[in-house]
Structure 1
Amino acid sequence: MTANKEKHLLQKIRNGNTQAFSELVDAYKNLVYTLASRMLGNREEAEEVSQDTFIKIFKSLSHFKGDSKFSTWIYRITYNTCLDRIKQNKRQNTFVDIDHVKDVSFVTMNNALDKMILEERRELIKKSLNSLPAKDAGLLTLFYFEEQSLAEMEKTLNIPDRTIKVQLFRARKKLATVLEKNLEKEILQNYG
C-alpha cells in the first residue's frame, strides 16, 4: 500500500469510516498473521492474536504520529502482542503445524523434480524455524521474510540496531544448527 493511500485511509478511519478499517485489515492481515503464527506456533492463537492486534491498532490509531512507516508500527504492535501472549501462556518453545502455515508463493518451475526439491527444502526451513524460540523466529521472520531493514526493526522492536545484529547472528546460528540436525535426520530416514 502506498504512503498516500495509507494516509488517506487512516484519515477516513479517524473520521469513523468502518469500511476503511476493513480495507486496512485486508491490507495487513497476512503480514500480521504470518508473524503471529511464526512466533506463537499455533494457528488458533495466531488468529486470536491477529484479532487482538487489529483491535489494539484501532484503539491506538490516534497515537500513530507517522514517525515511522505504518507497517513498522503494525509489526511492533503484533510483535509485542505475541510476546504478551507467550508470557501469558508461559511457553518456552513453540512449534507450528506446518500444514497450517500459509505457503510462500514461488515462481512456477518447468521441471517437476526441481519443484519437489524446492518444496522439501522449504518445509525443512519452516520446520527448523518453527522449532526456534519465539523471539528468534520473530527476528528472522521480520528480517528475511518481511524484509525489514535493521532501521525498521529498530523502530518495530524498540531495540538498538547493534543489539538486533547480535540477536540475528545468534538466531541464524541456532537456525543453522537446527537445520543441520533436521537435514541429518532426513538423510538417515530416506537413505539409512
Structure 2
Amino acid sequence: MNQTNDQYYITKIVAGDSNAFAVLVDRYKDLVFTLALRMLKNREEAEEVAQDTFIKVFQSLVKFKGDSKFSTWIYRITYNGCLDRLKKYKQQYNVVPIDDFTERQIVDLDNALEALEEQEQRQEILECLHLLPYEDRFLLTLYYYEEQSLEEVSKIVGLTANNVKVKLFRSRKKLAAILKERLEPEIIEHYAREDR
C-alpha cells in the first residue's frame, strides 16, 4: 500500500467519485477491524467502531492534507473511536504490576519462548496480548504487528516518539509478566514429560 496510490483514490473521491472509496475501504478494513478488536476485545463493538471509522473517513476526506500517510490518519481515527467507546462504557482492564521485572527476566522469558513451537508461541502471545489494557495492546499491535515506525505510532496516538518508546517498553514488560505467569507452568509440564 503506497501513499501515492492512496492519494490517487482520495483525489477521485474528493472529486465526487464515491465508488473509489470502496477501494480504500477494501484496502484498510482488515487493519481497522483488527486494531479495534485488539483494543475493545469485543467483536460487535469492533465492527461498530470500524464502520464508524470509515464513515468519519469518508466525511472528513476533504480535510486530509497528506502531511502523514493515509494509513496513519485512518489508524488515528480508529484509535480515537476506540477511546471514545471505552470512555462511554468505562470498561475496566487488568492491571499488571511491572515494578518487579528486570531486563534479565525479559531475556529469560525470550529464551523460554523458544522452547515452544512457533504457532503455539504466536497463539499464546495473542491470547496474552488480549489481557493487557487497551492502550498497551494498541501500541504493541501498531509497532510489532502492523510494523509502524515510532514516528507513525506517535502521530496516531498523539504522543512524542520518546513517549511512545517508553510506553512500548512498559507494555512489553507487562506482556512479559503475563507470558511468564502463563508459560512457566506449561514449560515445567513439558520438561516433566521429557524426563519420563
Per the TM superposition, whether the score is higher than 0.5 is: yes
The answer as to 2:47 corresponding to 1:47 is yes
> Rg larger in 1 or in 2?
2
What is the rounded CA distance, in whole Å, between the counterparts of 2:3 and 2:152 in structure 1?
15
What is the rounded CA distance, in whole Å, between the counterparts of 1:42 and 1:55 in structure 2?
20
1:89-100 matches, cutoff 5 A: 89-93=89-93
- Residue 151 of structure 2 corresponds to 151
Question: 1:166: how far off?
Answer: 1.0
1:20-99 matches, cutoff 5 A: 20-93=20-93
1:88-127 matches, cutoff 5 A: 88-93=88-93, 117-127=117-127
Q: Alpha carbon RMSD of aligned pairs, Å?
A: 1.7
- Residue 110 of structure 2 corresponds to none
Question: 1:188: how far off?
Answer: 5.9
What is the rounded CA distance, in whole Å, between the counterparts of 2:16 and 2:3 in structure 1?
20
- Residue 113 of structure 2 corresponds to none
Identity %: 55
Aligned length: 171
Question: 1:4: how far off?
Answer: 2.2
What is the rounded CA distance, in whole Å, between the counterparts of 1:48 and 1:188 in structure 2?
42
TM-score (norm 1): 0.84
Give 5+ residue unaligned stretches, structure 1: 95-115
**CA deviations over 1:137-159 (Å, ceiling 9, x no partner):** 00000110111111111111110
What is the rounded CA distance, in whole Å, between the counterparts of 1:45 and 1:182 in structure 2?
27
The code of the aligned residue for 1:158 comes to: G
- Residue 13 of structure 1 corresponds to 13
What is the rounded CA distance, in whole Å, between the counterparts of 1:3 and 1:167 in structure 2?
28
The code of the aligned residue for 2:165 comes to: K
The answer as to 2:157 corresponding to 1:141 is no
**CA deviations over 1:12-50 (Å, ceiling 9, x no partner):** 111222211111100001110111111111111111110
**CA deviations over 1:77-136 (Å, ceiling 9, x no partner):** 111111111111111228xxxxxxxxxxxxxxxxxxxxx922211111011100000000
The code of the aligned residue for 2:162 comes to: R
The code of the aligned residue for 2:25 comes to: V
What is the rounded CA distance, in whole Å, between the counterparts of 2:189 and 2:56 in structure 1?
46
The code of the aligned residue for 1:153 comes to: V
Give 5+ residue unaligned stretches, structure 2: 95-115
What is the rounded CA distance, in whole Å, between the counterparts of 2:62 and 2:69 in structure 1?
15
